[in-house]
Each structure stands twice: as structure tokens, then as C-alpha cells.
Amino acid sequence: MLLMEWIGIAVLIALDQVTKYLIASNPAGFLNKEIIPGFFYLTYVKNTGAAWSILSGQTMILSLVSAVAVLAMLWALEKTRKEGKKLLFSALVLMTAGAAGNLIDRLLLGFVRDFLNFYIFGYDFPVFNVADICLCVGVGLLILHTILEPDSKETD
């Protein structure tokens, strides 16, 4: 993999870890701290599960799955770079950084630090973090890639 890909992944992981550290260093100060009234709050949460706290308490399984996913995406990144599929490549960079950011938390702390809390049309959306943003945007780009660049190989 080229140096720029590693730098991009490292910058996204660093952004994730720094924001988590800043919030976790003063958890009492970030218990539902209102930023935009009725819409956006900083709320420090220790999530022992995955998205929406599914598989809560299954840190070892989630860590193993995350580690395998990161390794698979690193392999796919190298293959994709050689094929010149830029949209897919960008999706994989984001998803790798997001999965790695949350994996670091699971391995070092036994939980993932979440803190971004939105109330959308009165619905308290699950609290998330920068790594989750990377994952979601990456998956969105992956879907867009699938729509815009369907596999040219046809199976008969």
C-alpha cells in the first residue's frame, strides 16, 4: 500500500482517538451537554456492543470480527489500488479507519467510547463517534460504487 493511504487511515484513526480522549477525559462534563438545543448533544457513553449496542458485552467476539475485517479491508485496499477503482478505494480507506478506531477502543478499554448524540425529529438517535462516521460514509460510498460501477463480468 502506498504511503498516502497509510497516512489517510492514520489521520482518520487519530481524529477518532483524539476526540474520544477529549470527551472521556471529562466524562462528567459531557453528560448530555447541549450544543444545539433540542438537536445535538455531547453525551459520553461506554458501548460494550456494536451498532445500537447489539451484542453488548461480547467484546472478544466483536474484537475478533473487527480485526479480521480490518485485515480483509487492507488486503482489498491493495487490490483496489492496483485496479484503479477510486470510489471503492475511498470507501475501503474510510471503513478500515473506522473499524480500526473502534477496535483500538475494544482492545485497550473493553468498550467503545461514543459521544455524538442527535435528536432527529424527536427521536433520540443512538450515540456514535468519529469512527462510526467513517464506517457509515464508507458503506455509503461502497453502495454508490456498486450502483455506478457494477461488475462488468457477467455470469452465464
pLDDT digits 0-9 by tens, 6-60: 899 999 999 999 999 999 998 788 888 999 999 999 999 999 877 766 667 677 8
Q: What is the pLDDT of residue 155?
A: 45
Predicted local confidence at residue 154, as pLDDT: 46
Q: 3-class SS at 35?
A: strand
pTM: 0.87
The set of catalytic residues is 114, 132
Mean pLDDT, all residues of the chain: 89
Contacts of 17 (CB under 8 A, 6+ apart): 101, 104
pLDDT above 60 (res 153): no
Residue 52: what pLDDT?
66
Is the pLDDT score of 156 beyond 50? no
Q: Mean pLDDT, to the nearest integer, of 126-143?
A: 96
The angle formed by the CA atoms of residues 52, 21 and 99, to the nearest 5 degrees, is 45
Grid coordinates given for 41:
448533544
The reported pLDDT for the residue numbered 70 is 95
